[in-house]
Amino acid sequence: IINGVEVDDAQFSTNYNYLASLQTSTNFHYCGGTIVSPHHIITASHCLEPSAWSDPSSHSDIFIVVGAADRGLNTEVNRFKVEEIIAHPCYDAAMTNYDIAVLRVEEDLLEGTGARSIPWAIPGTDMYATGSKVSTSGWGTTVSGSGTAPNFLMTTEYEITSNEVCGAAYSMPTIPGTTLTGLPETMVCGSGTNADGLQTDSCQGDSGGPLVTVTSEGETLLGVTSFGIGCALPEYPGVYAKVEMFHKFLDWAVSNGPNTFDGSD
């Protein structure tokens, strides 16, 4: 997170305890996630090696750490093995589209960890209105281009960018390999400045983490941190997988229903 604020333990346990850190067996933090059920987190497909999706033997190096602002506090109690990777069947690595996945764990993520789940957005709300205040959080880098991650969770607030502005930014012909002519309906963007007037954004290592809105009914997950050009550049908003469009995939993945999901949104 660039130009955000640090989350302390007290704030974490009341406001941000839906966050998860994805770590390797050597405690290397590489992506974020959001707890959406006692046994499931949502993350980005691009955080996961496609070779691991259907091969449990090759995803043994993914651990989910929950319940602490300090990502180094990964104990037997709050560190979970991944039982199953459910990547969106339409995930398109070349376009970073359909960049969403569900991770299933066998144990209860919430029991005795201080963590909680939050709901994902379903269609028919006005939560994605341009200019709406949203927050994004993670253990990603605080300095664009630097590989180092903070120990404590960082969070920031900015606004939903219009689809036209964001689509235009990422349709520029200087971006090699893209054929985007506008923002796909599977994406939503955020940009803006913090209280000090500094441009703020998610960045490397925040991928997979949440874009959240707060209403009188509590928090709702609107997006999954996906990609950007640079970080906190005013001309390039942060891009998120638009969770509203994936409610059928998420209903299916989180209910562990029969394998009938056909890939439609």
Where does this chain bind ligand 4AZ (CB under 6 A)?
A: 201-204, 206-207, 225, 227-228, 231, 238
Quick check: is 262 catalytic? no
Radius of gyration of the chain (CA): 17
- Closest contact distance (angstroms) between CB of 166 and ligand 4AZ is 11
DSSP 162: P
- Closest contact distance (angstroms) between CB of 175 and ligand 4AZ is 14
- In whole angstroms, give the CA distance from residue 222 to residue 210: 7
- Closest contact distance (angstroms) between CB of 228 and ligand 4AZ is 3
Quick check: is 207 catalytic? yes
Q: Which of 36, 76, 20, 10 is nearest to 246 (CA)?
A: 36
Number of residues written out for the chain = 265
Among residues 46, 59, 135, 201, which one is catalytic?
46
Among residues 21, 191, 207, 226, which one is catalytic?
207
Q: Which amino acid is at 46?
A: H
Decide whether 78 or 191 has the Cβ nearer to ligand 4AZ: 191
- Closest contact distance (angstroms) between CB of 250 and ligand 4AZ is 21
Work out whether the CA dihedral 255, 104, 69, 198 comes out positive or negative: negative
Among residues 99, 135, 137, 191, which one is catalytic?
99
First CA to last CA across the chain, in angstroms? 29
Quick check: is 46 catalytic? yes
Q: Which of 21, 8, 46, 4 is nearest to 143 (CA)?
A: 4
Decide whether 155 or 207 has the Cβ nearer to ligand 4AZ: 207
Please list the active-site residues: 46, 99, 207
